[in-house]
Structures are given as structure tokens and as C-alpha cells.
């Protein structure tokens, strides 16, 4: 099944919602970075949340970044998403291994840690990007995103993101939803939605059962005049290129470039997001020295 994200409204516009299936997206990131299962789950949950959140960006060059620094063995999680569904991300330690947690599931919280910060950065093409930051609450990603939305954006939200991993480490199912009450939503309506969410299977289970984004929202909001407004197709996509990596080398300065030329005679840079390798030989470095 092809990955896609929908944006919807319900209850006469007093509820807005997003739902996504991201199995292929997460499996591509697994292959790109050689992720072990718990790293796939952590990065996959973060990418799924970011992909849904980025739909609200207006400009084609706007982007939304989520940076999670929890102090756990996975290190930092960094994800960047655009409103057209293009998304990239990485974790510092793709080969983290941990025993299953007390529920017999991948210990994402243990890998991420909960002694750090979750930061959301929105680059809207202004002089300074908007950045909001909160303390991590659980390290389970979904709960932390919900806490960020309530605390930093004053937007109460129900957030669910999940990843199921096959025994061979490939991704069996991945997806998520975000449901938000807007001004005008009654307490009775909110209570009913919370009740339905409580009785809904885990998001990864629903995706594994073949449910599409509209089926997932329909299970919670289906009798509330649910209307699908947009459909976006997410894909793992990195916009790195040789020119950008040259700019990185230029920031080292003339003296450092001269030292690289003398000691190594070459430089190799690897993109964090997609693992593409860029090699610069003696002539490349001499040219950069002239431009430094």
C-alpha cells in the first residue's frame, strides 16, 4: 500500500485531524541508515509526526524540524519535513540495541531517554526561524509531541505514532494520527473523542490490518461529519548536493583547508541525512582555498 497523509475536519469544523501511513517511508530510512529495530521505531515515529505537522506549512520552501535530545543511547534524533511530503532524518546511533521493555515491545523510551529536550523549528523564510522547546516527558515520541503542542503552541492534541518491525528488521507497518479540538468544540464532544481513542487499537496494529488513513480517522470521527480536505504522499528525500558540501568546507577557513591539503591531500564528507559520500581531491581543495 502506498504511503499517504490526509488532513481532515469533523464536527462542523470544530475538530481537525491528520492521519498517515508511512510504512514505506520508514523502511526506506531503515535501509538508508542501516537502522536496528529500536532505532527504526524511534526515527519512524518522529518522521511520521513531522510529516503530519509539516502539512500546515504554507510556503513551498518552508520546513519543519524536530530535534530530540533525550540523553539515551540512541543519541540525537533529527528530522526535517516539508509540506509536500519530502522528509529526511537520522539518529546518532543507528545500531542501538536494548532488551524489550516490560510490555514485550521495543524499548523506544529507553533508547531515546527522557532527560533532555524536544525542539520544533519552523523555518518560514523569515529572518529568524520560530523555535519551540519542551522537556521530554516519556521519550515515547507521541506523548512528547502532544506535550509540545499543548505547552508550546497552546493546542491540545491527541497524538499517536507507531512502528511495527518484522523479525528480519524490515518495517511491517508504520503510521500515526493527530486529532485537535478547535475553538467551538464542546467538552462533551472532546470527552467522546477521548473515549473513542481509548478504545481504538494501537495505530501500528490498525495499519498492519490494512486500514488506510481515512479508515483510521473514520474509526474515531466517522459519525462526526468527517471531511477529507487534502492528501499528501510522503517520501524520504534528501536535498544535499556537492555545492552545499563545498560550502561546509569553506566554513573551515583558509588555514584549515591548507592543513587538509598538506596532510591528506583530499577530503571526504558524508551527508548525515542520506549517507551520500562526497569526495574532494587536491584540485578541489586548491580551488576552495582560493575562494576561502
CATH number of the domain encompassing residue 260: 3.90.1280.10
Cα gap 221→40, rounded to integer Å: 30
Phi-psi region of 219 (alpha: psi -120 to 50; beta: other; left: phi over 0): alpha
| Domain stop point among 236, 251, 281 | 236
Can you tell me the distance from the alpha carbon of 160 to that of 276, in angstroms, rounded to the nearest whole number?
32
CB 39 within 8 A of CB 94: yes
200 and 281 belong to one structural domain: no
Q: What is the model's pLDDT at position 264?
A: 83
**Burial degree of 178 (CB within 10 A; 0-12, 13-18, 19+):** buried
Task: State residue 201's pLDDT score.
Answer: 96
User: Which distant-in-sequence residues (6+ apart) come within 8 Å of 126 by Cβ?
Assistant: none
Q: Based on the fold, state whether residues 33 and 84 are members of the same structural domain.
A: yes
Q: 122 and 195 share a domain?
A: yes
Residue 238: closest CA among 31, 23, 32, 30: 32
Q: Which domain holds residue 226?
A: 4-236
Same domain for 103 and 229: yes
pLDDT of residue 225: 93
- Kindly state whether residues 187 and 278 are assigned to the same domain: no
pTM (2 d.p.)? 0.93
Residue that has been written with the C-alpha cell 537520522 in this structure: 90
Residue 81: predicted pLDDT: 97
Domain co-membership, 171 together with 273: no
Sign of CA pseudo-dihedral 270, 272, 276, 278: negative
pLDDT beneath 70: ranges in the chain: none
| 30 closest CA partner among 179, 124, 170 | 170
Tell me: do 163 and 280 sit in the same domain: no
181, 75: one domain: yes
Instruction: Give the pLDDT confidence of 32-46 residue by residue, as tens digits.
Output: 999 999 999 999 999
User: In terms of domains, do 217 and 115 share one?
Assistant: yes
Task: Say yes or no: 191 and 262 in one domain.
Answer: no
What domain count does the chain have? Answer: 2
- What is the C-alpha separation between 47 and 40, in angstroms, rounded? 10
Query: 162 and 201: one domain?
Result: yes
pLDDT at 15: 97
Give the pLDDT confidence score for residue 265 in this predicted structure: 83
Which CATH number fits the domain that encloses residue 217? 3.55.30.10
Across the chain, where does the E strand assignment appear? 4-10, 15-21, 63-69, 76-81, 86-91, 117-123, 130-135, 158-165, 171-181, 227-232, 235-236, 267-270, 277-280
Instruction: Name the grid cell of 199.
Output: 478504545
Phi-psi region of 104 (alpha: psi -120 to 50; beta: other; left: phi over 0): left
Report the pLDDT value the prediction gives residue 288, as an integer from 0 to 100: 86
**pLDDT at position 248:** 87
99 shares a domain with 80: yes
Amino acid at each position: 500500500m502506498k504511503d499517504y497523509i490526509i488532513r481532515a475536519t469533523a464536527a462542523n469544523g470544530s475538530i481537525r485531524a491528520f492521519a498517515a501511513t508511512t510504512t514505506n517511508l520508514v523502511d526506506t530510512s531503515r535501509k538508508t541508515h542501516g537502522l536496528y529495530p529500536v532505532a527504526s521505531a524511534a526515527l519512524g515515529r518522529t518522521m511520521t509526526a513531522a510529516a503530519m505537522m509539516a502539512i500546515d506549512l504554507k510556503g513551498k520552501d518552508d520546513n519543519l524540524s524536530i530535534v530530540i535530545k533525550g540523553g539515551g543511547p540512541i543519541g540525537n534524533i533529527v528530522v526535517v519535513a516539508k509540506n509536500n511530503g519530502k522528509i529526511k532524518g537520522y539518529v546518532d546511533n543507528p545500531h542501538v540495541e536494548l532488551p524489550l521493555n516490560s510490555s514485550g515491545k521495543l524499548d523506544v523510551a529507553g533508547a531515546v531517554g527522557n532527560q533532555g529536550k524536544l525542539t520544533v523549528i519552523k523555518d518560514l523564510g523569515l529572518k529568524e526561524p520560530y523555535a519551540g522547546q519542551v522537556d521530554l516527558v516519556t521519550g515515547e515520541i507521541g506523548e512528547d509531541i502532544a506535550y509540545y503542542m499543548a505547552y508550546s503552541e497552546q493546542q491540545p492534541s491527541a497524538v499517536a505514532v507507531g512502528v511495527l518491525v518484522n523479525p528480519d528488521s524490515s518495517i511491517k507497518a508504520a503510521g500515526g494520527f493527530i486529532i485537535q479540538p478547535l475553538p467551538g468544540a464542546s467538552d462533551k464532544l472532546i470527552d467522546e473523542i477521548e473515549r473513542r481513542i481509548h478504545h481504538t487499537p494501537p495505530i501500528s496494529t490498525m495499519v498492519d490490518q490494512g486500514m488506510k488513513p481515512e479508515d483510521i480517522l473514520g474509526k474515531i470521527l466517522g459519525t462526526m461529519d468527517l471531511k477529507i480536505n487534502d492528501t499528501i504522499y510522503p517520501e524520504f528525500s534528501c536535498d544535499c548536493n556537492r555545492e552545499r558540501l563545498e560550502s561546509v568546507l569553506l566554513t573551515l577557513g583558509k588555514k584549515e583547508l591548507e592543513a587538509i591539503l598538506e596532510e591528506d591531500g583530499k577530503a571526504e564528507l558524508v551527508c548525515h541525512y542520506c549517507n551520500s559520500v562526497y569526495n574532494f581531491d587536491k584540485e578541489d581543495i586548491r580551488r576552495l582555498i582560493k575562494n576561502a
